[in-house]
Amino acid sequence: MSPDASPDPYDNPIAFGQRVQIYRTRRGMTREQLAGLLGHHASWVKKVETGTMRMPRLPEILRIAEALRVRRLNDLVGDVGAEPYTDLFVGPGHDKLPAVRAALSAFPSVGDGPAPTTVFLRAALDTAWAARHSSPNHRDVIGGLLPGLIRDAQRSVRHADTAADRRAAQVLLAETYFLTQFFVAYQPDAGLLWRVSERGVMAAQESEDPHAIGLAAWLSAQAHRDSGPGHYDAADNVVMDALRLLEPGLSEALPDVQAIVGALRFEAGFTAAKRRDSATAWGWWERAGQVAAQLPVGYFHRVTSFGKAVMGAHGVTVAVELRAGRESVRQANRAEADGIPSRPRRARHRIEQARAYHLDAQPDVALAALAQAHEAAPETIRYNGYARRIVLEETASRVPERRQRASRLAVDIGLMAA
């Protein structure tokens, strides 16, 4: 290994502080950025990394793991040969992931049979989206549908007779990749996630459809932002490019395109909140709300979940990302969950409420919100790193009743064995 290369954190023995520094560097974060995420000064991070202070207690370690998006707790604290590993911010690989990966990796063959009609594909995608929003175990359902959908959508593009037919098929192919990205997200295959995201962008651009292009930008921005602070600018650039394309025709646009504009505005606010830029974050949230207010009564965008019903949930997310404890709780208390028609989106909102209560030192209320999330959609909480971190932290609580509640939930979401 080159003397200039960063060491591998799996090379033992490496102290906890060294592991923190390695993962921080790999995430493209400065000490000041990590300190800001943790609510400390940069000098505190330096002391941790250089080993001049003792290893922090479990709650602080979990917050560091959250900030650095470390996959397993063992990767950060060492003892990598010990069992069990504790997965944090990447969920367990789904049983249907290999079949989905195989469909994405298959090389198209000549004479692969007739292409399905666009009517058939549209109906199949409608069924898949409906199943995603209504099923508590939505990954299991769409994971079973995706291999066939991917092959059919790709075949439809290859067999298109005219330019117009090909563009129509590309719209459906792009939407298939969007659905696939929801399935692949937070599973242990980051390379596959990026492959799906890029294919969605390419298919959307080939379709020349504004709605598809906006959706591709929305998902691409999330992929960039989830890659860490070093990618926030890329996330912003994607969003701003899409808004420049879509906003000029906003007043005459169909509701689906209007909703994409609203969703993109919120994404800009989300990234600003990650940067702790309060004024910009709330400004974009308000601009997203202006779009939501103009949408038809009861409107709900099936890909982005954007609509009036989620604006309260978005407010909770902005406050939590800004680490504004009191404001987070205020937003959580006023945001309704029952009006959100999607089970996974409703569960994610409950998780954001739990983050708000936990940030405000109300762990019992946070656990209650996570229990509601599990009731709405077990697979959502199972793959959510924030939920897993809160549950794991409270399994070490000094309050017996709280520790028992957290332990039961940890078993339910697969963090602990029964």
pLDDT in tens, 130-158: 999 999 899 999 999 999 999 999 999 99
Q: Which residue has the higher pLDDT, 269 or 48?
A: 269
The region that residue 340 occupies, defined by phi over 0 for left and psi between -120 and 50 for alpha, beta otherwise, is: beta
Determine the longest span between alpha carbons in the chain, in angstroms: 68
Tell me the C-alpha to C-alpha distance, in Å, between residue 416 and each of 57, 372, 411: 20, 19, 5
Residues 203-251 have pLDDT tens digits of 999 999 999 999 999 999 999 998 888 889 999 999 999 999 999 999 9
Could you tell me the end-to-end alpha-carbon distance of the chain, in angstroms, rounded to an integer? 43
Give the model's confidence band at 54: pLDDT under 50 very low, under 70 low, under 90 confident, else very high. confident
Find the DSSP H helices in 69-137: 73-77, 97-105, 118-134
Q: State the fold for domain 1-89.
A: 434 Repressor (Amino-terminal Domain) (1.10.260)
Cα–Cα distance measured from residue 388 to residue 381, given in angstroms and rounded to the nearest whole number = 8
Task: Please state the pTM of the whole predicted model.
Answer: 0.81
* 17, pLDDT greater than 90: no
Mean pLDDT computed over every residue of the chain: 88
Structure tokens at 407: 């332990």
Greater model confidence, 418 or 116 = 116
Q: How confident is the model at residue 79 (pLDDT cuts 50, 70, 90)?
A: low
**pLDDT at residue 4 in the model:** 46
Per-domain residue ranges for the chain? Answer: 1-89, 94-208, 339-418
